[in-house]
Structures are given as C-alpha cells and as structure tokens.
Structure 1
C-alpha cells in the first residue's frame, strides 16, 4: 500500500509540473516591447521616436539603382513597400520594422532588397527632423489586409516601446513594377 501511495504522489506531481510548464509564459513572451498604438491622426509616439505610415504600395517587381547599376527583383509572392515618416525624440536613432500579418505571422524586411534609396535599415533619424524611409517586405498577398506595421528602436531594447501602425482601410492596388527612387 505504501508503494502505491508513493506512485500516486509521483504521478500527480509529474502531472502538475507538466501543467505548470505548459501554462506559464516563457521568457520570450514575458519580456517584449510595450505596444503603442497610433493615434487618430495616424502618428505613433514611442519613447525614442515618432512615426507615421505615409502610404503602402505593392508590386510583383521592384527596381532601383545601386552603386550606378540597375537592380531588378521579382517575387512569386508580393512586395509590400511601406513609406514612413520618422523623427527621433531625444538622440539619433535607428529603427527596425516588422509586418504583423492578418494571421499573426511576423514578417521581417526582405533581405533580397538591400542598399536601395531611403532604406529603413540604413536610415539614421535625428531629433526634430522628419526623415523619410522605405521598409520593404516580401509576403503572401492575403497577409496585407488586416495587418499592421510594427516599428521598434534598433538593438536589444526588450522593455522599450514598439509603435503599431495599422494598414489603411483601402489597400494599395498591386502594381506590375515599382521603382524606388531617392
């Protein structure tokens, strides 16, 4: 009888431990940036920068000049180009972006398009000056409607603010080709 009681205690303890492991939040979900939603005017104000989504454009092909050569990229999905107006609040700041799709998936900026004019990944924003930049994402077309752009200060700032800019109600018409100009 004593062995049976010990076995029951071990099984119950293992079950409770398994339940706790599956229900407690992980470190990654506990330490995330604080979400800041854009106001009625479409401007999101984080702790380190202020951002506005000036527009969205979509295309199957993107072209731009890089070091005097013409670069053309195409995709089987869709390129989503977010036009941004950003200004730092207190000191020079770099910003990174993700697209939070309609299904909740996160899309980082396309690595196939680099060093293009006004690239967000290369931009440095200054206090009091509104800088213009592009963030380019490569994603399925059905992830655009209902999605949102999330901007964060570049670097490891887990407990800082992340500015959420919702997509406009009217989505951009898909262009055959899109040229990124300075």
Structure 2
C-alpha cells in the first residue's frame, strides 16, 4: 500500500508542471478565432477570401488639402499624415473595405483617419466589384515613430474573425516628406 501511495504522489507531482505548461501555452479564444493573415509586399497583388489589394506607394506629409463636396479643407497634425496609394478589387462578390489599419513597429494599430472624409478616391466606403480594380487612397494620422516598418492590414470586416486579413509590410518610409499634400481625384 505504501508503494502504491508513493507512486500516486509521484504521478501527481509529475503532472503539475505538465499541466502548468499546457495552461500557459494553449492559445486564447481570440487567437484561435482571429484573422487568417495573408502576407504580401508593396507592388504585388495580395488576395484574401473577399478582397485583393496592391500597394503602389506611401506618401508622407505634415498637412493635407482636399476638395470635399465643393469646399476646400485643410488638415494639420502634430504627427505625420501617411497616404497609402493602392488598388483594390473584390474576389468573388461585391464587397466594401471595412477594416483598414496601420500597425506600427510598437505593435499599436491605427485606424484609417476619419478627419479626412469625402475625397472621391478614398478607399473606405468604395464598393468593390469582382475583377475590377479601383485605384484608391487610405489616409492615416500617425505619430512620427510609428511610420517606419509599418504594416497595412485590410479586410472586408472591421474585426475579421475566421476570415482573411491582408497584411502588407510597408518597410522603410519614403525619404522625403511633403509639407503639404494635395488630395485630388486620381491621386
């Protein structure tokens, strides 16, 4: 009986570290049901389940100007405006871009700015059709230290769960930064 009891105690003591390791290495629910990343680079088409995208460039500025609904607007920032030039298309069905985020080197995510709404080529709000690429822009207002090595994340859903999310590593920022950037139709 004593030998059997010692074997039970030894088994329990051996199981404790194993159970502790399992507890801390098991993914949480948000990770298990999170977005399915589809990685790409600027200049190449990256296809997700619902949409495809190709980034052609990033422009930086301290001030933006645009004509919105027949009125000239100007926006300034204490950080940096990053304007992403891209092409978008739906893959199977008509879809809208609802998820557009810039993830900086710190891991913080920044949603596309709502301070600049109305330019006709703004990607948020465009209805995309299968096979028909549309040129568009996304505008982000970022702290200066979040521009380098940023990653653009795009999806048809605001918070994709068990759906694809396009992730394009943008790399080094442009060497030049405009004082004022004019946003107009087509660019």
- TM-score, normalised to structure 2's length? 0.79
User: 1:92-111 maps to which residues of 2 (within 5 A)?
Assistant: 92-95=94-97, 96-111=99-114
Q: 1:153 to 1:77 in 2, by over 3 A?
A: same
Question: Greater shift after overlay, 99-108 or 29-38?
Answer: 29-38
The aligned counterpart of 1:32 is 34
Backbone CA RMSD of aligned residues: 2.3
Measured at CA, do residues 179 and 41 of structure 1 come closer, stay the same or move farther in structure 2, by a change above 3 Å?
A: closer
* Equivalent residues of 1:58, 1:172 under 8 A apart: no
Secondary structure of 2:162 counterpart: coil
Deviation at 1:58, TM superposition (A): 0.7
What TM-score does the superposition give when structure 1 sets the normalisation length? 0.81
Looking at structure 1, the residues matched to 78 and 173 of structure 2 have their Cα atoms a distance apart, in angstroms, of 23
Residue number among 86, 90, 93 corresponding to 2:92 in the alignment: 90
* Ranges in structure 2 where 5+ consecutive residues have no aligned partner: 1-18
- Within 5 Å, which residues of 2 pair with 1:14-25? 20=23, 25=27
Q: Please tell me whether Structure 1 or Structure 2 has the larger radius of gyration of its CA atoms.
A: 2
The verdict on how the C-alpha distance between 1:172 and 1:129 changes in structure 2, with shifts beyond 3 A counting, is farther
- Partners of 1:65 and 1:40 in 2: CA distance: 28
Q: Which moved more, 1:22-31 or 1:77-86?
A: 22-31
Alignment length (residue pairs): 166
Give the match for residue 80 of structure 1.
82
Return the offset for 1:49: 1.4
Deviation per residue, 1:25-69 (Å, 9 max, x gap): 443333211000116962211111111001100101011111111
Report matched runs for 1:23-172 at 5 Å: 25-38=27-40, 42-95=44-97, 96-155=99-158, 157-169=160-172, 171-172=174-175
3-state secondary structure, aligned to 1:29: helix
